[in-house]
Structure 1
Amino acid sequence: MSIHTEALLRIVPAQHRGEECIDWTAAEAALGTQLPSD
């Protein structure tokens, strides 16, 4: 797992952890920045 993915998983609500349907756009917005895709 990449470092930035781990960071996103820490900010998404706990009930969404482990699910495949995570709204990554909302997660990035919550971080206040778009993460670089590598």
Structure 2
Amino acid sequence: MPKGGRKGGHKGRARQYTSPEEIDAQLQAEKQKARIAHF
């Protein structure tokens, strides 16, 4: 259980999604965002 009722706050470090598809999508989005942020 996440401490605090924040939805989508930090980099989804706490996997609150039980669906593997959601986790995969989140991971891919994070990677893409990180890549864009790097440049």
TM-score range, shorter chain: under 0.3
If the length of structure 2 is used for normalisation, what is the TM-score?
A: 0.25
Bigger relative CO (Cα 8 Å, ≥ 6 apart): 1
